[in-house]
Chain A
Amino acid sequence: MITFANVTKRYPTGFEALRDVSLDIQAGEFVFVTGHSGAGKTTLVKLMAAIERPTSGGIIVNGQNLSALRASALPFLRRNFGLVFQDQKLLFDRPVLANVLLPLEIAGTPPREAKKRALAALDKVGLLDREKALPIALSGGEQQRLAIARAVVNRPAILLADEPTANLDAASAGQILSIFNSFNQVGVTVILATHDLQWVDKLRPRVLWLAKGKLHEGLPAQSPVELAPLNALAVPGASDTLIEEATR
């Protein structure tokens, strides 16, 4: 579904965020992209959705070669994805429901049908009773769930979420990950960029590990010191089991 072949991304500043990355993600996979802050997770996600362009190498999404993609085809490529941005990008000038309606308006869904689907998406993330609230009046976890509702409302084939559990407590994070899990169960390809490794045990995703722009399959079998900062936010004890697992 998504293929990278020797992709390198150098930002205009000259910084090389990704180096010679190759990967292949099949339809229906559940993938964690992990790594330190600044390792290039967001960059990887942006390349997948053609928000950034690779400096070299090829990317194929859904059979489409992104480097050969015409500008006029870009919006339609993006509609393959449900995107949850690291900074969420909610629209704070309009209520919850209107935020979720946006992708449907873009797709040209008739208003009646759109409203039905938006409410269903809000129901799925447990925000049905907040449809009229302004996003500013939502808690961090609720805002995150709103971002997810907006991402899934158009029933995308691929869910691409950048740090969807950042700054949430374990309970909220668990809630959100179980939402992603439930989408994966019905066949949606789910790709999460995250620091939060405490769920690896439970969800058993495929783990891609980024370090200094290099991509590795699975967690590194290295010293716990390497992993420690990743789990700064995690529940105490979780990292131990994780590292045990990873180093086994």
Chain B
Amino acid sequence: MSLAHHQQALATALERLRDAPFNALLSLLVIGIALALPAAGWVALDNVRLAASGLAEAPEVSLFLDPGAGRDEVKAIEQKLRDAGAPYRFVAKDAALERLKAREGLADLVANLPKNPLPDAFVADMAGRDAAAVEAFVKSAGEWPRVAHVQFDSAWMRRLDAFLRLGRLAVVLLAGVFGVGLVAATFNTIRLQMLARAQEIEVARLIGATPGFVSRPYAYYGALQGILGGLLAAALVALAFFFLSGPVGELTRLYGSSFRLRGPSLAEVGALCAAGALLGWLGARLSVALYLRQQPQ
């Protein structure tokens, strides 16, 4: 197998795409739509994640300190927070007591306490982290010296996370189903092409063509079609998100959020094309393998 073989096969595949643009266009539409649906789902979910993290109150983790914690120990905890990269603030026990006093109905009760029962606390801002990361942070902070108690209300985040996980699973299943469809569509396209070129294939094999030689142009064709299908899918998704971005922007503004809908990223377009190429290639290879097995040598 030489470089000339590959150049030849790629050139042949491109010629075939060019020579039957109508057929190619129909297949491309099928492949494009098959890829567009899961891709749209994926990007939409990511938008939900982004929107939710912008809309919700910032999730905060409170670290209550041991009452006996000394100055240096508090400093050490502060350093650990800084290392963790989370924005934080310090709430001294006196300040906390003042805030409690300001609450309606509690002032008397607080005034009658013999001494301040509240501990010093740090409040760390967990915005932009997913549930697993926050969970991990809570766990490690609980083991820091002189941290008496770590408190985090994670129910809301967990719910969002579960929703996103479910959504992603649905997208993966959808992608699986449409991926099989893509393979099948390419399989069929290539089969028709091979039947139309049965004589050429027969002659080539009779005069010494390897199965690789026969299959290469078809494999390239399948992969090229997949890449073009991926680009088409990306274009469809981008177009849909472009039309949605206006109304969605208005909606989120009503909630006081500066959230903006994002279309597919460059990496996502690349992944889409790669997936299309791989599946198209696979469909073509399967088709060729079956065809060659059915023909006598």
Listed in ascending order, the chain A residues whose CB lies under 8 Å from chain B are 49, 51, 71-72, 74-79, 83, 85, 89, 91, 93, 102-103, 105-111, 150
Contacts and interface: CB of A to CB of B under 8 A. Distances in A.
Interface of B: 1-2, 4-5, 7-8, 199-200, 202-210, 213, 297
A13 to B, nearest CB: 15
Given A74-B297, A75-B209, A75-B210, A106 B4 contact: no
Contacts of A83: 206-207
B8 to A, nearest CB: 5
Given A71-B297, A91-B199, A102-B203, A111 B208 contact: no
A75 B203 contact: no
Given A108-B2, A108-B4, 8 more contacts: A51-B206, A78-B207, A91-B200, A105-B4, A105-B8, A108-B5, A111-B7, A150-B207
Contacts of B5: 105, 108
A75 B209 CA distance: 6
B2 A75 contact: no
B153 to A, nearest CB: 66
Most A CB within 10 A of own CB, among B1, B200, B203: B203
Top 6 nearest A-B pairs by Cβ distance? A108-B2, A78-B208, A79-B208, A75-B210, A106-B209, A75-B208
27 contacts: A51-B206, A51-B297, A75-B205, A76-B208, A77-B208, A78-B206, A78-B208, A79-B207, A83-B206, A85-B206, A89-B199, A89-B203, A91-B200, A91-B203, A102-B203, A102-B204, A105-B4, A105-B5, A105-B8, A106-B207, A106-B208, A106-B213, A107-B208, A108-B1, A108-B2, A109-B4, A110-B4
A113 B206 CA distance: 23
B4 A111 contact: yes
A109 B8 CA distance: 10
A107 B209 CA distance: 8
A122 B4 CA distance: 22
Nearest to A74: B297
Main secondary structure of the interface of B (DSSP, over half): helix
B167 to A, nearest CB: 48
Nearest to A53: B297
Contacts of A150: 207
Contacts of A78: 206-208
Contacts of A91: 199-200, 203
B172 to A, nearest CB: 38
A37 B204 CA distance: 27
Contact of B8 (A74, A77, A79, A111): A111
Contacts of A75: 205, 208-210, 213
Contacts of A102: 203-204, 207
Given A91-B199, A91-B203, A103 B208 contact: yes
B214 to A, nearest CB: 9
A108 B202 CA distance: 18
A79 B8 CA distance: 19
A52 B145 CA distance: 84
Contacts of B203: 89, 91, 102
Contacts of B297: 51, 71, 74
Contact of B206 (A71, A89, A110): A89
A105 B3 CA distance: 11
A107 B2 CA distance: 9
A93 B36 CA distance: 37
A53 to B, nearest CB: 9
A106 to B, nearest CB: 5
Nearest to A111: B4
A103 B205 CA distance: 10
A84 B134 CA distance: 76
